[in-house]
Amino acid sequence: MGTGALLGLAPAPDYTFLIYCSPVGSYHKDKKRLISSLLIITGALNLKVEDKLYKAISGSGGTGGIKSVTNYAPVYTAITDAKANGFSDVLFLDSATGKYIEEASACNVFVVKGNASFTPAIDGTILPGIMGKSIIEIAIDLGYRVLERAVSVEEMLGADEMFCTGTAMVVNSIASVTYKKTRMDYKTGPEALSAKLRTTLVGIQTGCVEDKKSWTVLVD
């Protein structure tokens, strides 16, 4: 955080390093439900595709792939409008063509078709997520093919399932996506891939599932 005695438009001469620690609940707390003694899963999300505002500018070397306030500020107008119309979140498109999905306001997205899962490639406009990276490994272990590449709106609308990943929400299924006047519903529930991924990951985090990847660290 810049704290120098400066009002002009310039880098702050002094900085303060801050760490906030706070207990948190489910990211979408109004959608919470208990499905087992192991896991509390949030309800499936309903997303709106934003086709007028862009979260990051393609090919500009901007801050779309950097975890800073400049990566979150652009979503406020779009997400406020979406929630006012009954949606959970916003799904942004690439700014170059407007034909490919990128990410939601604060999470990576995955599209599932048959035994394959697709997620937009990290190319500078999408924030790399450790949760998404972990989920890719688990999905492969479960026998799914995972491809990181461009995912078109048309491909998304023809998918069987969609879900999103992030540090706060872990894994959350997506019940529907609305693009202009078209709404597509997706598979959710305990048999969905998203539920299996979440159960496995949360199980590793809580010690209920063996950690074969050495992701967890025992604290004395």
Catalytic residue, chosen from 32, 67, 83, 213, is 67
Per the rule left: phi > 0, alpha: psi between -120 and 50, beta: everything else, 131 is: alpha
Angle between helices 130-141 and 193-206 (to 10 degrees): 110
Question: Which CATH code fits 29-206?
Answer: 3.20.10.10
DSSP E strand stretches across the chain: 32-34, 40-42, 45-50, 89-93, 101-104, 108-113, 116-119, 145-148, 161-166, 170-179, 182-185
Exposed / middle / buried, residue 210 (Cβ in 10 Å: 0-12, 13-18, 19+): exposed
Annotated active-site residue 31? The verdict is no
Give me the pLDDT at residue 41, please.
45
Domain segments of the chain as ranges: 29-206
Give me the pLDDT at residue 126, please.
86
Give me the pLDDT at residue 74, please.
77
- pLDDT tens digits, the chain, 220 residues: what are they? 888 888 888 888 898 999 988 887 666 654 444 434 334 445 899 999 999 888 877 666 667 777 777 777 778 899 999 999 999 999 999 988 999 999 998 899 999 999 999 999 988 888 888 999 999 999 999 999 999 999 999 999 999 999 999 988 899 999 999 999 999 999 999 999 999 999 999 999 999 999 999 999 988 8
